[in-house]
Structure 1
């Protein structure tokens, strides 16, 4: 179903990033006259995830998909402009190389 394809992609960006536990840095061993109190190692925080949002109404889904389509079209226009500028630069460089070889 195409619905799940884009929904999964959008949902992936809404999940909180995973929390990575890093142990505290080790300090060099030093001789001390007073015994230090030993603390238990800290536990990483419990991971929890939010529940998925409730299903959208058809009106909400339509509005969201129209916005998503507009965003994709803008991205496509930007990519097409970038492609045109790259193609122009490639032509310029080929002409420079061709003129450079013709002089030798």
Structure 2
């Protein structure tokens, strides 16, 4: 269970870091740039801890799927970026894949 929490924390740090990339304005603003570096370091460290018990393919599928959807929501909420219907359909398919992988696949180590 602890490794799943590490994975969720890794995703959260990655989302914060990626979201801060826009605010860093090409690493010309110090505080957002520091958030990017610390966020990615924390994210990759936590991801490495999850790989002790979660298969790398499963961890990365969750990381990327939940990360894409989360980043899109952050961009919509904080940066006013619009998501069209096809974008929502695509993200729905990504989330469906994550759900199938976790609930139905025997690949996952529970």
TM-score by length of 2: 0.24
Which has the larger Rg? 1
* Bigger share in helix: 2
TM-score by length of 1: 0.25
